[in-house]
Chains A and B, each alone.
Chain A
Amino acid sequence: MEFLVASAVGLMTGAGVYLVLRARTFPVVLGLALITYAVNVFLFTMGRLAVNLPAVISDDAAGYADPLPQALVLTAIVISFGMTAVVVVMALRAYLEGDTDHVDLADPDSGDEGDRS
């Protein structure tokens, strides 16, 4: 099981990093999503992998799973899900207003640009 979880985290991170380094916003958003999945799985393993063990006190339990990573990963999932939504909306707005979905900024001194205020 250790090998399976470790390789899944590694694979997702690798694919995510590759996608984040692409030039257009859609692959970048997908890459961010993959990285956050990898991080969430990784956070689970930080309390050590355990199968069929209760997290709360019970009389006939052989051992306990660490409950804290489960609470932390819930927070991390909520935050990363919300952030992915934010980045999708912002990327859409930037595409609609700028007519390009390149992540890089154009040279600020060439062509038109947004209003400063």
Chain B
Amino acid sequence: MNHWIILPILLPAIVAPMLVLAVRHDVVLARVFSLASAVLLVLVAGILLGLAVNGGPHIYALGNWAPPFGIVLVLDRLSALMLLLTSFLAVGALLFAVGGADKRGRHFHALFQLQLMGVNGAFLTGDLFNLFVFFEVLLIASYGLMVHGGGSQRLRAGVQYVVVNLVGSSLFLIAVGLIYGVTGTLNMADLAVKVATMEAGDQALLQTGGLLLLLVFAIKAAMVPVQFWLPGTYALAPAPVAALFAIMTKVGAYCIIRVHGLVFGEGAGEAAHLIHDWLLPAALITLVVGMTGVLASRRLGQMTSFAVIGSMGMIMVPVALYTHEALSAALYYLVHSTLAAGALFLIVGLVAERRGSLQDRLVVGPVFAQSGLLAAGFFMAAVAMAGLPPLSGFLGKLLILDAARDVDANVWIWTAILASSFLAIVGFARGGSTLFWKPSAMEREFDGVHEPAGGAVPFVAVGILLAGLVMWTVLAGPATHYLDATATQLLDRQRYIDAVLN
């Protein structure tokens, strides 16, 4: 047993109470602790990635209780990749917050660490009930982060967000109850074994449970028809929080790959390919709805939120196909879209801060501070998000299109991806030209504008995320090599089951 595996959960779990109890009155110390924890998490995730590359899923049985009876953490290539992505995004978002956003409310850093703990736990856990518990941990922290800084509009969006997620959690519990009722286990590997030999009489309950789980994960992943909560939440959340939330939709995508791929995948008897008929149409509609929203948005934050919805559709299309090439393409695009969305949300925050009462509305206003630098950053992030060459969005879309070449619905998939890319390009071009291009001729000042806080630090944070995008593009070769091996591991269900149960 390798004790490194539990560190991504333990480290933030220890730092968070320390931030509340010991350094609550000292902003500088809190920032140092929080940033140090995030940087350490990147290192730990790197070590775990090295571990995951060597051989098949690694198991950490808590209290040394043998699975399926105890709680088990599972580290494979997919979870190691997600851990690294989370911690990298967290460093960027935290650095941005250190520029001044963390002082607008209390306990920002503690909540941030708890959120990281929840996300890391969801990526590592090997059983359904702990997945629920870690979902709750990350949600409770996100409620606090979402309303950080206050403001009546943001608070009301926060209430909406809490209500939607509470209903989602209730559905999760019902699904868990149904599945436990017919199988008598909640360990994912054990479930995969039991589901394969399920009697015909229990299939109805089991499949209802499986589809309810899909609905719960779809709420998290913001897929049509349960995407409506996302634009309000993400557009009104503080910028560094919105950037961190970019990983939360991916938690939903990860859970669909993990749970439905493992338990209801190939070889699951009558329940095999349970979600196949539902996921592809939902993903295509999500893609089109999201990118149409980009075109229709009246604020930059809203536009970015709809782009997040669209990119979730883009990820779920290859996940629905669930072939080797498709999975590899989905994961490549998943990493790319997380970094792009994170960078875009940070840039939106910087722009809104500089435009006084106009905030991020897409109306022409006077020139604002550092307009050129922000325009360059926005241009780069928008190019990535819309999937234009030379950045990784283009490569990701190529991989997805290639993986969808020989399937039955290829006409639909190609049409949806190409048309939605066009919508995204037009939308972002309109937004960028309104905010950065047209203002040059105007003379008057903003009302209510104040000197932007934080100096260069927020720009460094944006730079880190954009540099991550460039790295992901330059290193596309080694990355796809790693992702191909990840896809192979995901499709080899027996190896996962053997690793956990034996």
Contacts and interface: CB of A to CB of B under 8 A. Distances in A.
Interface of A: 20, 25, 28, 32, 35-36, 39, 42-43, 45-48, 68-69, 72, 75-76, 79-80, 82-83, 86-87, 90-91, 93-94, 97-99, 102-106, 108-109, 113-117
Given A32-B166, A46-B180, A76 B153 contact: no
Given A82-B140, A98-B152, A109-B361, A72 B129 contact: yes
A98 B177 contact: no
By CB atoms of chain A within 10 A, which of B149, B169, B299, B353 has the most?
Answer: B169
B204 to A, nearest CB: 15
B288 interface: no
Contacts of B170: 32, 35-36, 39, 80
Contacts of B154: 114
B163 A114 contact: no
Contacts of A47: 180-181
B153 A98 contact: yes
Interface stretch (B50-58, B231-239, B271-279): B231-239
Interface in B361-377: 361
Contact of B149 (A68, A98, A117): A117
By CB atoms of chain A within 10 A, which of B104, B163, B236, B360 has the most?
Answer: B163
Contact of A108 (B159, B177, B299): B299
Given A39-B174, A90-B158, A105-B153, A20 B163 contact: yes
B363 to A, nearest CB: 9
B495 interface: no
Interface in B215-255: 232, 235-236, 238-239
B136 interface: yes
Contacts of B391: none
Binding site of B, secondary structure by majority: helix, strand, loop or mixed? helix
By CB atoms of chain A within 10 A, which of B133, B150, B159 has the most?
Answer: B159
A59 to B, nearest CB: 23
Contacts of A36: 166, 170
A97 B151 CA distance: 7
Nearest to A76: B173
Given A94-B159, A108-B302, 19 more contacts: A32-B163, A36-B166, A39-B177, A42-B177, A43-B173, A46-B178, A47-B181, A82-B140, A91-B159, A93-B150, A93-B155, A94-B156, A98-B152, A98-B155, A105-B153, A114-B236, A115-B149, A117-B239, A117-B352
B155 A87 contact: no
Contacts of A103: 156, 159-160, 163
B160 to A, nearest CB: 6
Binding site of A, secondary structure by majority: helix, strand, loop or mixed? helix
A113 B159 contact: no
B208 interface: no
Interface in B383-414: none
A35 B167 CA distance: 8
A52 B60 CA distance: 37
Contacts of A25: 159
Interface of B: 101, 104, 129, 133, 136, 140, 143, 147, 149-160, 162-163, 166-167, 169-170, 173-174, 176-178, 180-181, 232, 235-236, 238-239, 298-299, 301-302, 349, 352-353, 359-361
B166 A43 contact: no
B158 A94 contact: yes
A79 B170 CA distance: 11
Contacts of A32: 163, 166-167, 170
Given A69-B180, A98-B152, A108-B153, A117 B167 contact: no
B163 A117 contact: no
Contacts of B133: 75, 79
A115 B235 CA distance: 12
26 contacts: A20-B167, A32-B163, A32-B167, A39-B170, A43-B176, A46-B180, A68-B180, A69-B177, A83-B162, A83-B166, A83-B169, A87-B162, A87-B166, A93-B147, A94-B152, A97-B150, A98-B152, A105-B153, A105-B160, A105-B232, A106-B153, A109-B299, A114-B152, A116-B151, A116-B353, A117-B352
A117 B238 contact: yes
Contacts of A115: 149, 151
Contacts of B152: 94, 97-99, 113-114
A86 B155 CA distance: 12
B155 A114 contact: yes
B162 A116 contact: no
A46 B155 contact: no
A32 B159 CA distance: 12
A90 B232 contact: no
